[in-house]
Structure 1
Amino acid sequence: MASFGSRITTQRLTAVKRLAPALTDATPVLGVVDYNILDQLIQLVHDTYAEDWFQPAVSVGTMALPGVLEHFRARGIGVQTRTAVELEIARHSGYSLHEIVHNAPVKTPSQLQELTDAALSFSISNFAELTRVDELLRDAADYDGAIGLQVTPQASADDNATTFAHVGIGLRDHRKDLIEVFLERPWLTQLHVSFDTPPTTLQQTAEQVAAVYQFAEDIEHAVGGPRIRGLHFSAGDAVQQTTDDCDPVLDNHRFVHQAMIPDLIRGKYDFTIDFSGFLTSQAGMILARVEYTKDLDGRMIAVVHADAQPHPDMTRVVVFDDDGHPKDDFQQYYYDVAGPNGLVAQSVPLPAVKEGDTLAILDVGASTFGARAGFSAPVYGIRADGLLTESSVLAPGHSVRDLAKAAGIYQPEKLLH
């Protein structure tokens, strides 16, 4: 049986061959979401965490394409939102209110009213917001929703990364106050955990999960019985971006957490974990036509119309000819790939690149198609047997005229007078 990595590689070849002809002067760059890879990643998560108490989720901030969110929902993947816009996208993508976990760190009084009226699962991000919710829930015994406090673990006293955290209430700063909050409010039944500075290793993730798990235990001890029903984690998933083969990634994720928190797997609490990075990263790529090649300061540069990537030194790129066939020249050169606003990739080994070639920029699903990403090119969905028949276009893209119009209201005459 072919490995997971080899299946991804084969599927990518099929996708590029079918979509490379869509790259034209009018559309020199486009996005791709591979549904076969999505399904394989979803199955890996379900196989690794098969227990009923575990709910994998994606965030709309990472993946905002309705056609993809609908696909996730149909396969048992939950959703997390952090803004009013993301909440609307989730609702219009078919998620019912009880399937959405809303972790917005800031809400107006009217937004809080709407959340409580709808009995939505949401988090309270600070003590001032807690006071506002107290006023809205004067008859909290009849409230049908699930409300929690958003906390920042502050797991290590020596780790100053949490100094820059701004989301939620710090456990180390306000532990006693938070215990009092739960004693006085029986309608608080969840903890929403935000890693504002995402952990860089599984051990760091598990340390913060352990800190919150212990806090949940402290709450139950203080109130004298079961109270916390759900723990929601909005980051800290496992992302593989250096190779196509990610079979062991989730196994390691479970092993490290189970080793550091043995009681975690017993199912005392329901867990929702945002696996957006793992579930979307490898399924998304950008195809960009090479407009020019040049050299500068001894570096070979391929110039494309794609936007800069956040970590160009880690970006993986594969080169194809203009018909979508892979270029497998034995001789490799180190290229920088540059877009109109910065580096897409840095020092990537590629066969000789020429104008008109197609570059596949890999592993972009976790950062390119989110609600805040602003990706303006068309996005296509694809399967191994070709384009999706009804929803092949997941987003139509925006023309230069569309983007210029969206910039604001043009009033040159007013400025002159």
Structure 2
Amino acid sequence: MTTSGTRIATQRHTAVEQLAPVLSDANPVLGVIDFNVLDQLIEHLHEVYTEDWIRHTIAVGTMSLPGVLEHFRARGLGVQTASATELEIAQHSGIPLSEVVHNAPVKTLTQLRDITDAELSFSVDNFAELTRVDGLLQDPHNYEGSIGLRVTPQASAEDDATTCAHMGIGLRDHRNDLFETFLERSWLTQLHVSFDTPPTSLQQTAEQVAAVYQFAEDIEHAAGAQRIFRLYFPAGIPVNVVSDEVQPTFDNHRFVHHAMMPELFDSKYEIVSEISAPLTAKAGMILARVEYTKDLDGRMIAVIHADAQYQPESIRVAAYDSDGRYKDDLQHYYYDLAGPTGLVAQRVELPELEAGDIVAILDVGATAFSMTAAFTAPVYGIRADGLLTESSILNAGRSTADLAKAAGIYQPTKLLHYPADTM
């Protein structure tokens, strides 16, 4: 099944019309996850990757809504965590530890002890951490999970962007040390690809995966037997933020990887891929009611209650009237969307807006509901026909009282005062 941009847009219109009555003075902004889009993309993924030795995971850091994580798990996807908090969320979502891949780049000794005691599958970030693991493992050869090293390919010696990498062990910098590490520890059975820099094309993704794949082959040659049994890597599929079309597709992803290294698909290695962004980005949006419109320095500005976005110049927006009907006026204007914390979208082409209209901030399913987004408004799930019920609330949001309480403890009797004689 392929998911067309037209289909996504049609489903979005239905969702906005259904949710329009929820927007009010009390709730001027809310998040939305379209389960239709999720299911269509999951089905397409399974059609493209049918092998049982290829496993796809969702990063809790990218999508941390328990209701969505459970939805993915019920459809055969695993979970990847990168911090103790994310691991707690995974457990809270009902996901067994045996299905979790833990890739926190920094771990305390206590956290490492908990991880190894639970026999989680995890990646070691550096040699110092590996020394700690050496001391914690009582019987590494009978460890239930997979343990491996996070390796940064440094695929291009001339690429200055590789200096931006901060996770993993550099393959070019420490190739001999890595060889010795794997030869000395036969219980290290996994290589985790940590990209030098976020790839902007499928070819860049495949090049970095290929470098680590070849290193796994080199380890086997040096050891005289297969030592690496699992390769873990992010899918590295860029998200299209220009239109509703899902591009590149999962077909494109497989084609490029197969063309560059067909041996990757011969089932020699178990493949575990983190594929959160391409599965969730198009399924998530933020709806915000227009509070005011104004002009400043010749720019038309719509003031809304949504928080600033990281790259406002690349944010896509759709406009609806107060009843949730799509505004398809022929006359368009360039708007900046401004929120309480800064610019939400910059120079977006929209029909004329007025107070009470609804704007949909698109393609944010892989960012708005992540661990770092701190999205405090309610989040709703919409299903096939725009159905909205009590069970559709994925997150009730946090009130102003909740947020004020989270700011800290007020203890006026413990305030520090300067002695009178020092004034």
Change (3 A) 1:262 1:101: same
Instruction: Give the whole-Å Cα distance in 2 for the aligned partners of 1:247 and 1:375.
Output: 27
TM-superposed deviation, 1:127: 0.5
TM-superposed deviation, 1:289: 0.3
What is residue 192 of structure 1 aligned with on the other side? 192
The answer to whether the aligner puts 1:245 opposite 2:227 as a matched pair is no
Change (3 A) 1:409 1:364: same
Instruction: Give the share of equivalent positions with the same residue, in percent.
Output: 68
The Cα offsets for residues 154-200 of structure 1, whole Å up to 9 and x where unpaired, read as 11111121212111111111011001101010110001122263111
The Cα offsets for residues 250-300 of structure 1, whole Å up to 9 and x where unpaired, read as 222222211211212222211111111100000000000001111111111
What is residue 229 of structure 1 aligned with on the other side? 229
What is residue 319 of structure 1 aligned with on the other side? 319
TM-superposed deviation, 1:9: 0.9
What is residue 126 of structure 1 aligned with on the other side? 126
User: Is the 1:238–1:249 contact (alpha carbons within 8 Å) kept by the matching residues of 2?
Assistant: no
Change (3 A) 1:216 1:246: same
TM-score by length of 2: 0.95
TM-superposed deviation, 1:17: 0.2
What is residue 262 of structure 2 aligned with on the other side? 262
What is residue 421 of structure 2 aligned with on the other side? none
TM-superposed deviation, 1:390: 5.5
Partner-residue secondary structure (3-state), 1:32: strand
Question: Greater CA deviation, 163-172 or 352-361?
Answer: 163-172
Question: Greater CA deviation, 401-410 or 192-201?
Answer: 192-201
Instruction: Give the whole-Å Cα distance in 2 for the aligned partners of 1:28 and 1:94.
Output: 32
The Cα offsets for residues 26-63 of structure 1, whole Å up to 9 and x where unpaired, read as 11100000101100111111112222221111100000
The Cα offsets for residues 63-111 of structure 1, whole Å up to 9 and x where unpaired, read as 0000000000000111111000001111221221121110001111111
TM-score by length of 1: 0.97
What is residue 77 of structure 2 aligned with on the other side? 77
What is residue 208 of structure 2 aligned with on the other side? 208
TM-superposed deviation, 1:326: 0.7
The answer to whether the aligner puts 1:144 opposite 2:163 as a matched pair is no
TM-superposed deviation, 1:21: 1.0
TM-superposed deviation, 1:385: 2.4
Instruction: Give the whole-Å Cα distance in 2 for the aligned partners of 1:365 and 1:325.
Output: 22
TM-superposed deviation, 1:3: 6.0
User: Is the 2:2–2:44 contact (alpha carbons within 8 Å) kept by the matching residues of 1?
Assistant: no
What is residue 303 of structure 1 aligned with on the other side? 303
The 5 A counterparts of 1:13-412 are: 13-195=13-195, 197-234=197-234, 236-246=236-246, 249-387=249-387, 389=389, 391-412=391-412
Instruction: Give the whole-Å Cα distance in 2 for the aligned partners of 1:301 and 1:247.
Output: 31
Measured on the aligned residues, the alpha-carbon RMSD in Å equals 1.6
Question: Greater CA deviation, 382-391 or 51-60?
Answer: 382-391
Task: Figure out how many residues of one structure are paired with residues of the other and give that number.
Answer: 417
Question: Greater CA deviation, 34-43 or 92-101?
Answer: 92-101
TM-superposed deviation, 1:412: 3.1
Partner-residue secondary structure (3-state), 1:387: coil
- Runs (5+) with no aligned partner, structure 1: none
Corresponding letter in the other structure for 2:33: V
Instruction: Give the whole-Å Cα distance in 2 for the aligned partners of 1:285 and 1:297.
Output: 29
Structure 1 residue ranges (4+ consecutive) displaced by more than 4 angstroms after TM superposition: none
TM-superposed deviation, 1:142: 2.5
TM-superposed deviation, 1:312: 1.1
TM-superposed deviation, 1:248: 5.2
User: Is the 1:31–1:285 contact (alpha carbons within 8 Å) kept by the matching residues of 2?
Assistant: yes
Corresponding letter in the other structure for 1:120: L
User: Is the 1:29–1:286 contact (alpha carbons within 8 Å) kept by the matching residues of 2?
Assistant: yes
Instruction: Give the whole-Å Cα distance in 1 for the aligned partners of 2:238 and 2:314.
Output: 16
- Runs (5+) with no aligned partner, structure 2: 418-423
TM-superposed deviation, 1:2: 9.5
The Cα offsets for residues 204-258 of structure 1, whole Å up to 9 and x where unpaired, read as 1111111111111111111111221111113513422222122652222222211
User: Is the 2:239–2:248 contact (alpha carbons within 8 Å) kept by the matching residues of 1?
Assistant: no
